[in-house]
Structure 1
């Protein structure tokens, strides 16, 4: 499907069954919802609000109701606030938790753990039973249980109000890198968590764990890298459970309380792009796993990518939906993907609601690598992102940009899905490393059966290279840092910062601290010795690289390494492919058809020159309401919060925020007034874009 202006694009696709309402599949899902009690809106993670005060007829009257300034500068929190009992809970860029009056934005209390957190922190968890209440927040590898009334840690939880997620993994806790970027889910009296870990070796295992909400005691664990005797053990080398890592849940989970199931999407195994040390399919990496929420026992699973060597993590919470099949309604779970596909399964048994085809893909020509011969893809719903990059899809923004793109394209390998990387030649990843879909997750409308998902339409490239054999600062950099920052330290801004000309604020001490602790998408490196980190810091700042003598045991070193993430951009920094560079999609889960699709996002300077509706990268997801609206911010460059007609994709309202808001909004009502609130920071904007840290709430004017 080729790009066209948004209004025409949406109109031409309306024939695919959009706005006609179907009988309500689950009236209980449409019960009055005045709060936003969990990440994703509720335990079903459908990002749906039954509120109707703000609707198609009056959304144009929205105005700022209140603003809360965190006064910490940007930090990539990506926070979706939680609202319960008239209180809004939000995380600051340094991972302090604040409680605000949800009607006015006035601060009620602020919890400071004493640890400065950095990078993504997408939400908190809330538990209540009888008269007891607790809010759980994460700072680095710690999870704190706080009294919602005071913000004070509850001493009876764990040790002085907190638990350390590095404990209980069967490995030295001091050498584990694990951060809870997406909040855990609540089931009865359990807090169930995953975590973000390093994706290069050595890496922490991605165990899923449940903790008692009152005591912090661990009640069960599920090993995503199976131990001897466990299901899936034979899909790995025999000792993988001791030495391999990742296969973790960083994107969040979803709970079906009625059926007692927790649905867990997982990411790739370490290392991401070369798997000679982990030959085999590698369960439970790249899986959607249904676990018994009471015990942690596997009920069913589906593996979307076998032996992943492309970093094709499941990037978001699954959504619990109801889908019409004939005359019956089916309780289903829908999972969006980086590849631009949606998988839909029956919740109780994992039976696909649309056929899944096993498709053949080429082998790897890299020594030691054994790529899977086949991968499973759904035949429906149809992909919501383009799947094959061809010469006729290159940019025509200017003749010069087209010539550049064409010359580069002819040097690349691949262009379609699941093409293995080569040594010394760039391979195209399309959709790119960041999707397709990303962590913002989809929204689902139970009135119509439409699933809404924003997609990135970017091409990226990379390659493999032979690892150095001499232990030096450069070798340590290439093994541990080049994955993201590249062999030449050029990175891929704004997602992956460059390390050249870092400026006066970065000295060896600052680089040492951030390497040890981690920040943003970067994990900490507790496995490196102090002398090794100091050597890497000196190499980054000066290029000095000498052989390193160390008593520390050698880290795991593979024969080949990933050379870094590279966007396929033209000389002026715009995508080297034709628009759309980002889309917003409505998918009918009853039929599997795309109901409508529009370009989503703009580059303001291009729009000013007449090149509008190009779409752009976006991080953060949509929310949908019974008032007929989709609210979404997410776009990297235009700093907009927008409202669309959920039936047609027509833009009904937009406002420019002080900073780009790479986060999913929350919707709630207090005192009879409906609010939409979003976290704006600007972290993923370009270097010269405005940056800050504010929560901004919108509402209709007071009567």
Structure 2
């Protein structure tokens, strides 16, 4: 074992001069307004409001419900400014309502008339509010565009970019032209700049994951940071030569959002894995700056320091949420810190200025890959404190004792590779635990001024295998539509199109009985929910795919071994391996294959690294268990000075409020639909409200279309 404090670059810090600004400036918290994503630039989810507290929370009543008339999954954390609530619908259309009454102020419609203005089926976690004097703007993304509209009217700011929008592909280079590029998460503001997250394909067709800053007034690209370095840049030698040219490796993008210390001018950017996510034989090396926390100079994009959470990631271990900025006490000294929660169940805590870990981090040996051409990195960093908030091992004794097919699950476990949280994928199957959705997820963690972190965690194993893709000769034997399906859709929806609903991938069998061709065509072109758009498919390929899905393809399988078929096969993505599918490890009834609890809520003292409390979060009421079962959760908590932790996020459609000090459940209520989003809390005319989006859909929950608010009578 080797202790690490690398890789960091302190020379850049000295040049920047931030050491002189080490005064313990408390980051702003949410008060009457909830004016930024997750409550403020520190992403602390914290509110100073106290009207609703532990003594009266049980009296909460729903005071308004706003129907967007646009049902489906909503992950939006609404923001509130000057008594107006701004949110996003299921198909990424922003709106403004009165935060006290829920009455509509305006709803946005795309009136640019520009090419590419298609109906979006993606998800959005919210919008950005910016003002300068009387100029008040809302910035949001839709498709591959960043839009600016007037916060008062919802009308486009025509001086911004091209008639009110600018391309998220501006700083990604020519290879991004026909690739999938969107943003689910609101950007981060520094002065007149907005620094943007991006969601990309996770396959061989991924665009580059550069970090980009745009001018909010003009829409012009201001600076770019290369997460896959160019020649002469730090980290270039951690990839094969010329990887930055983006021929078959991309991503290393920030999709989960950022936090910013505006006093020091530092933006903290967690990055995800390089693509293809599960095989790195074509990108051997440490792969900086994938899977890192980057500290960048917000004005210029200059790197100040970085830390890599996963070296040469081959398990899709993206940093899943924005980091938290907080102040802790270590060795009797106040230290401004940055904390990052991970899918693996770890919390990494650093000095915000120097990047020095505040608890030791060990480089621990991890299993080698048995896949031809792959070289898993021999060690991975694991912090000594805090202890993981998700279980790290899955043995036969952990198999759900109530599962009616328990022995079958045990045998499946025995056949698979299962050597801990960094076990590489294998042809025989690998248990990934914590699963691909964590541990932590996009909702992230809340932090209070005492340095206590509040974090919901999933307890779900996944079982995935990795094998070689079909050869071009094999692909050429398939019909055109089946060929496109096999290379584009089968990893999620399965070779037989049966999908995996429990993992969020619907069956496509008999899709013609449920959806029109036009609907499916739009989904393939623009994406939906967490499904990416397949912009790289030609119109001929899309039409062949639709014919295959709708049972209209007349060309028989095995009759297409022509030079044209071979040429078409050779145009498919270049990754030489593919996964069996995004499959959770479930019993035959669709419940987690492991013993309970299946989800927890944790309070962790980051001054000491010790747990304050841990409790079960979520329930499967149909199982009629004596104690709650716990469940997966998406969306994070809100923490208040009134002593509350407020959280939804579970399929059982409940909003729950816990005591901040003890973890005791104080109140819960059923929502109109499940909320897979972080709530907000704010005050209008002296009255405190709690509001959240209820879109359902995820985890198979029924659809909803509303935002709701609660307050005291």
Shift of 1:434: 0.5
Where in structure 2 are there 5+ consecutive unaligned residues? 1-22, 112-117
User: Which residue is equivalent to 2:36?
Assistant: 38
Matches within 5 A, 1:425-464: 425-446=428-449, 448-464=450-466
Inter-partner Cα distance in structure 1 for 2:310 and 2:499: 27
Partner of 2:467: 465
Tell me how far 1:172 sits from its aligned partner: 4.4
What is the distance in 1 between the residues matched to 2:694 and 2:525? 28
Indicate the residue corresponding to 1:11 in structure 2: none
The answer to whether residue 378 in structure 2 is matched with residue 373 in structure 1 is yes
Tell me the CA shift for residue 284 of structure 1: 0.8
Shift of 1:468: 0.9
- Verify: 1:149 aligned to 2:179, yes or no: no
In structure 2, C-alpha distance between the alignment counterparts of 1:428 and 1:347, rounded to whole Å: 35
Contact kept, 8 Å, 1:60 with 1:653, in 2: the verdict is yes
| 2:4 counterpart residue number | none
Match for residue 516 of structure 1 among 525, 546, 551 = 525
The separation in 2 between residues aligned to 1:274 and 1:28, in whole angstroms, is 43
- The answer as to 2:91 corresponding to 1:94 is yes
Q: Does 2:423 match 1:411?
A: no
Matched, 1:273 2:289: no
8 A Cα contact 1:276 1:370, kept in partner: yes
1:620 counterpart = 2:641: no
Distance change (3 Å), C-alpha of 1:338 and 1:545:
farther
User: Is the 2:29–2:44 contact (alpha carbons within 8 Å) kept by the matching residues of 1?
Assistant: no
Q: Would you say 1:696 and 2:699 are equivalent positions?
A: no
The DSSP-based 3-state class of the residue aligned with 1:52 is: coil
Structure 1 match to 2:616:
599
User: 1:41-440 to 2 correspondence within 5 Å?
Assistant: 41-74=39-72, 76-113=73-110, 115-243=118-246, 244-398=249-403, 400-423=404-427, 425-440=428-443
3-state SS, counterpart of residue 447 of structure 2: strand
- Cα 1:33–1:321 change in 2 (3 A) is same
Work out whether residues 487 and 563 of structure 1, in 8 Å CA contact, stay in contact via their aligned partners in 2.
no
Deviation per CA, 1:41-82, whole angstroms, max 9, x where unpaired? 0101000000000000000000011110011221x2211101
Q: 1:566 deviation in Å?
A: 1.1
Equivalent residues of 2:188, 2:259 under 8 A apart: yes
1:529 to 530, 534, 538: 538
CA distance in 1, matches of 2:705, 2:400: 35
Say whether the 8 Å CA contact 2:258–2:269 is kept in structure 1: yes
How many angstroms does 1:474 deviate by? 3.8
CA distance in 2, matches of 1:540, 1:427: 30
What is the CA distance between 1:283 and its match in structure 2? 0.8
Q: Deviations over 1:443-488 (max 9, x none)?
A: 0011x32101101000101011221113444443333223322333
Q: CA deviation at 1:32?
A: 7.2
Greater alpha carbon shift after TM alignment, 503-512 vs 290-299: 503-512
Q: Is the Cα contact below 8 Å between 1:586 and 1:596 reproduced in 2?
A: yes
Q: Secondary structure at the match of 1:694?
A: strand
Of the structure 1 ranges 169-178 and 77-86, higher mean CA displacement relative to structure 2 is found in: 169-178
Bigger Cα displacement from structure 2, 114-123 vs 505-514: 505-514
Cα offsets for 1:199-230 (capped at 9, x unmatched): 00111111111111100111100011111111
SS at match of 1:537: helix
Please report how far the alpha carbon of residue 527 of structure 1 lies from its aligned counterpart in structure 2 after TM superposition: 1.7
* Larger displacement relative to structure 2 (231-240 or 31-40): 31-40
Give the direction of change, closer, same or farther, for the CA distance of 1:64–1:509 in structure 2 (3 Å limit).
Answer: closer
Native 8 Å contact 1:169 1:205 kept in 2: yes
Q: Residues 32, 95 of structure 1: CA spacing in aligned structure 2 closer, same or farther, 3 A cutoff?
A: closer
Length-normalised TM-score, structure 1: 0.92
- 1:51, 1:625 within 8 Å by CA — same for their partners in 2? yes
Q: Which residue of 1 aligns with 2:625?
A: 610
Give how far 1:30 is off.
Answer: 7.2
The change in CA–CA distance for 1:37 and 1:159 in structure 2 (over 3 A counts) is same
CA RMSD across the alignment: 1.8
**Contact 1:623–1:630 under 8 Å retained in 2:** yes
**Number of aligned positions between the proteins:** 668
Q: Which runs of 5 or more structure 1 residues have no equivalent in the other structure? A: 1-24
Change (3 A) 1:462 1:326: same
Kept in 2: contact 1:200–1:480 (CA 8 A)? no
Q: Is the 8 A contact 2:323 2:338 kept in 1?
A: yes
Question: Structure 1 545/63 Cα, relative in aligned 2: closer, same or farther at 3 Å?
Answer: farther
Task: Report the more deviating stretch, 26-35 or 497-506.
Answer: 26-35
Aligned pair in 2 of structure 1 residues 173, 570: CA closer, same or farther (>3 Å)? closer
Query: Contact 2:27 / 2:326 at 8 angstroms: preserved in 1?
Result: no
Residue 521 of structure 2 aligns to a residue whose secondary structure is: helix
Higher mean alpha-carbon deviation, 616-625 vs 486-495, is at: 486-495
Task: Give the drift of 1:26.
Answer: 6.7
Q: Is the 8 A contact 1:254 1:264 kept in 2?
A: yes
How many Å apart are 1:27 and its aligned residue? 8.2
**Structure 2 counterpart SS, 1:55:** coil
Between 528-537 and 241-250, the greater mean CA deviation after superposition: 528-537
Distance 1:558 1:172 in 2: 17
**Within 1, Cα distance between the matches of 2:285 and 2:482?**
31
2: CA distance, partners of 1:203 / 1:221? 18
Matched with 1:13 is none
Question: Residue 437 of structure 1: CA displacement?
Answer: 0.2
Contact 1:359–1:374 (CA<8 Å) still a contact in 2?
Answer: yes
Deviation of 1:415 after TM superposition, in Å, equals 4.7
Task: Tell me how far apart the structure 2 counterparts of residues 306 and 489 of structure 1 sit (CA, whole Å).
Answer: 34
In 2, Cα distance between the equivalents of 1:357 and 1:598? Answer: 28
SS of the residue 1:175 aligns to: coil
**Per-residue deviation, 1:503:** 4.8
Contact 1:395 1:401 in 2 (8 A): no
Q: By how many angstroms is 1:380 displaced?
A: 0.6
Is 1:538 aligned to 2:526, yes or no? Answer: no
Pair 1:517–1:401, CA change in 2 (3 A): same
TM-superposed deviation, 1:118: 1.3
